[in-house]
Amino acid sequence: MPVLPGAEPYRHEGGEVGVLLCHGFTGSPQSMRPWAEHLAARGLTVSLPLLPGHGTRWEDLAITGWQDWYAEVDRAFEELSERCSQVFVCGLSMGGALALRLAARHGDKVAGLVLVNPGNKVHGAAAHALPVARHLVRTIPGIASDIAKEGSVEVAYDRVPLHAAHQLRNFFRLVDRELPQVTQPLVVLHSPQDHVVPPADSARVLGRVSSRDVTEILLEQSYHVATLDHDADRIFEESVAFIDRLADGADDGSGTGTDTGVEGTASGG
């Protein structure tokens, strides 16, 4: 199945410090592409994979599970770890949960985490009905493009397969149990006005991790997909400052290296 224009994975070969970016549920690398390119321009080695079942059509997502999504970011992380002396992990929404599980399982191999509106729970009464409802109803309306910035659009599905939503619920519950195992330096940036993931999820993450080096930043001008919203530049700058502070051998910022991925269609509006 062809990948949607703009949803292609992205890779940049830079210096010895690597960054893995994880996109969200029903979304695609397009939501993270400007962030990835900002990091690449600072000379970092960057990997932004496309999660299985994403970036094509919702029917493909309906036949995947959380193990597939996690396996892809774990593979990308191991690849970066072999290439780089340090690896940082960034995530948006469900990508934040994927990043947290990488941190819980890989320990000191993860140098630090930057999370934007991380998901922690499927909310509402419907969540409790998912185990049964997924056998009766195939899809519900999508959650894409929760963005305050006019003209900015997320490349994501317009339907949510309930089988995949059930998988997401199970994954969030698993990651929540593992949060005390997360000890790495952590930045959580979240939007008070988020119509997909409530601020309570970020509060839950901040309250359960064991990290001692923790920074919380409010994104007052953005909704859920803040990486394509008014606060995008702040996210990018804060992540670079965080990585620069913790990197053993920070790159010189020359921006040299090579990109793989389609250019031009991934900026999200």
User: Cβ neighbours of residue 184 under 8 Å, at least 6 residues apart?
Assistant: 103, 108, 110, 111, 112, 113, 211, 213
pLDDT band per the 50, 70, 90 thresholds, residue 127:
low
**Average per-residue pLDDT in the chain?**
89
In sequence order, what are the residues at sequence separation of 6 or more whose Cβ sits closer than 8 angstroms to the Cβ of residue 97? Answer: 91, 118, 119, 120, 171, 172, 175
The mean pLDDT value for 86-98 works out to 98
> Which amino acid is it at 88?
F
Whether residue 153 is contained in a domain is answered as: yes
94 in a labelled binding site: yes
- Comparison of pLDDT for 208 and 128, the residue scoring more: 208
Distance of CA 24 to the CA centre of its chain: 5
pLDDT tens digits for 15-52? 999 999 999 999 999 999 999 999 999 999 999 999 99
Instruction: Decide: 211 and 182 in contact? Cβ < 8 Å.
Output: yes
Q: Could you tell me which residue, 239 or 159, shows the higher pLDDT?
A: 239
Domain assignment present for residue 78? The answer is yes
Report the length, in residues, of the chain. Answer: 269
Q: Return the percentage of the chain with pLDDT > 70, whole number.
A: 86
* Confidence band of 142 (pLDDT split at 50, 70, 90): confident
What's the pLDDT at 21?
A: 98
256 within some domain: no
Query: How much is the pLDDT for 267?
Result: 30
Tens digit of each residue's pLDDT (9 = 90 or more) over 209-257: 999 999 999 999 999 999 999 999 999 999 999 999 999 744 443 344 5
Note whether 225 and 231 are within 8 A (CB).
no
pLDDT at 153 over 50: yes
Q: How do residues 48-63 score in pLDDT, each as one tens digit?
A: 999 999 999 999 999 9
Residue 193 is predicted with a pLDDT of 94
110 domain residue, yes or no: yes
Within-domain flag for 190: yes
Structural domains counted in the chain: 1
Note the pLDDT tens digit of each residue in 175-195. Answer: 999 999 999 999 999 999 999
Q: Which residues are catalytic?
A: 93, 194, 224
236 is in an annotated binding site: no
CB 62 within 8 A of CB 163: yes
Answer whether residue 79 is part of any domain.
yes
Class of residue 18 by CB neighbours under 10 A (exposed 0-12, middle 13-18, buried 19+): buried
Residue 155 Cα distances to 4, 7, 56, 196, 204, angstroms: 8, 7, 10, 16, 28
Inter-residue contact 163 to 131 (CB < 8 Å): no
Which CATH number covers residue 105? 3.40.50.1820
What domain range is 14 assigned to? 10-248
pLDDT of residue 1: 74
Res 147 pLDDT > 60: yes
Whether pTM > 0.85 for this model: the answer is yes
Instruction: Find which of 93-107, 124-138, 162-176, 243-257 is predicted with most confidence, using mean pLDDT.
Output: 93-107
269, pLDDT greater than 70: no
pLDDT of residue 258: 55
| Strand runs labelled E in 117-268 | 139-141, 159-161, 186-190, 214-218, 258-260
pLDDT at 141: 67
Q: What percent of the chain has pLDDT over 90?
A: 78
Radius of gyration of the chain measured on its C-alpha atoms = 17
Tell me, rounded to whole angstroms, the distance of Cα 220 from its chain centroid.
19
The single residue listed with the structure tokens 């601020």 is: 199
